[in-house]
Structure 1
Amino acid sequence: MLTMNPEFNFFGSKIKELREKHGFTVRQVAKQAGISPAYWSQVENGKRNIPKPVTLDKMAHGLREDREILYHLADYLPQATKTAENMIPIKPDDVINVPVIGTIKAGPNGVAFEDHQGTEIVMTNGLDISYEYFYLVVSGDSMTGDGIFDGDYALIKKTQNFCNGDICAVIVDGEEGTLKHVTRSDDSIVLTASNSKYPPRVFVGNKMNELLISGKLVRTMRMF
């Protein structure tokens, strides 16, 4: 019989509180974090050891929370009364400045950025810095099934290469850019939302030329 550890229960209950505060399901946060829903559920129910920092980083991404919050809950951080000497220094190469863009459209030379909203600092871990990146401010509710909501910041890697099913920033001729799952075949491109109230959009023949893939979604961030 499994003996429940009070520390595991406390940590799990706090993770559940954070998830429910944002209105996320276990499946949504687990998918965003890249871990299994079963594991996430076990953590919330106190049936797993407190995750290691590398897993906490993933869970923080899934929750759209600062990882230091989870580190504190896991008792991995020094108390606020301790000095900054305890903190791990961040080297210049560990971060990049990324522009925040409110709107993307098709321009004469490809993608045109509009409504510049400043920059955000992004940690480079997990990024291929040979590519350029930008944050696209999400507009609308078409991707809520993937835990992506209106006002979220979507980190986009500027590339036209993707695998079928990837979430990409797509520009349809004459429209503003949007996030959609993209599936491409020899004779069609299908844009699929994750909110079932939006039907797929299918482009065939010459209509395929109306689409511009401006980049692939890397991760999202929620601003409060």
Structure 2
Amino acid sequence: MVEKLNEESFGDFFRRLRRSKGFKSQKSLAELSGVSQTTISRIEDGSQNPTPETLKLLAKVLKVSNFDLMALAGHYDEEDLLDPLHVIKDEMIPEDKLDSNNVQKPNNIEYKKIEDQQRIPVLGYVAAGIPIERSEHIEGYELVEQEIIRGREVFGLRVKGESMIGDGIYDGDTVIVVKQVDIAPSDIAVVAVNGHEATLKRVKCENGMCMLIPSNPNMQPILVPAKDVYVIGKVIQSRRSFE
């Protein structure tokens, strides 16, 4: 069985790991990993269990095994896994060797932004269901491949609701959106309604009216005057949250 952390919580262990890898502050780790400082703070104080996706981003920057870190966070419990606590601890500077003025600095070459990825902001929630109030404050960041972005303006949005489950987009997922106003009826679009509400739907407009079409067979399209509909962008990717 995977060795557990015994009396030490995962949050306390992760805090020691962060410092031993040269990150004095949560902010410095957030800036390089693409994981928000708020999320890192919640992991360390024990109020949030990190998702596999979050741990993957953190492990890459901390230069430890993604699978070992996930095992310690409780995502795996397999008899044939190596002892992740032993492996990661061997790579850490002992706590008594650390101080605020003498923390190992990360390798600048290893920790620079990955060339084939770009960090994009996640701007809040969009409804996959009844339109909700638009939210444009930054809640975190995602890393997206440059070949997907292709120089375009791209951002992420959290999903609330189940109207697009027919396309594999579920409540809690994050959609990656290209900002554009021109879309095809087959595109999954982010649209603002009445200048304030935002929703995730396919859009078909005709004779001054727009039909906002869900992919959930149990839900009906929403009919809205075309003058009240503003296309924000097109969804190019959806990412699943396991939390």
TM-score calculated relative to the size of structure 2: 0.48
Matched, 1:157 2:178: yes
Q: What is aligned with 1:108?
A: none
**Aligned mates of 1:197, 1:173 — CA distance in 2:** 25
**Aligned mates of 1:187, 1:114 — CA distance in 2:** 28
Give runs of aligned pairs for residues 24-39 of structure 1, distance below 5 A: none
Q: What is aligned with 2:138?
A: 116
* Unmatched 5+ stretches in structure 1: 1-63, 70-80, 82-89, 106-111
Q: What is aligned with 2:209?
A: 188
Check whether the contact 2:208–2:227 (CA below 8 A) recurs between aligned residues.
no
**Local SS of the residue matching 1:199:** coil
Deviations 1:125-151 (A, max 9, x none): 23321x211111000111111110000
Q: For residue 175 of structure 1, report the CA deviation from its aligned partner.
A: 4.9
Question: Which runs of structure 1 show a deviation greater than 3 angstroms over 4 or more consecutive aligned residues?
Answer: 90-93
Check whether the contact 1:191–1:202 (CA below 8 A) recurs between aligned residues.
yes
Bigger radius of gyration: 2
CA 1:104 to 1:151, structure 2 compared with 1: closer, same or farther past 3 Å?
closer
Matched, 1:213 2:231: yes
Deviations 1:59-92 (A, max 9, x none): xxxxx9x9x99xxxxxxxxxxx9xxxxxxxx974
* Unmatched 5+ stretches in structure 2: 1-52, 57-65, 68-86, 88-111, 128-133
**Local SS of the residue matching 2:160:** coil
Check whether the contact 1:183–1:191 (CA below 8 A) recurs between aligned residues.
yes
| Count, aligned residues | 133
**Aligned mates of 1:174, 1:163 — CA distance in 2:** 21
**Aligned mates of 2:195, 2:219 — CA distance in 1:** 19
Check whether the contact 1:104–1:171 (CA below 8 A) recurs between aligned residues.
no
Give runs of aligned pairs for residues 49-128 of structure 1, distance below 5 A: 92-103=114-125, 113-128=135-150
Q: For residue 187 of structure 1, report the CA deviation from its aligned partner.
A: 3.1
**Aligned mates of 2:174, 2:126 — CA distance in 1:** 13
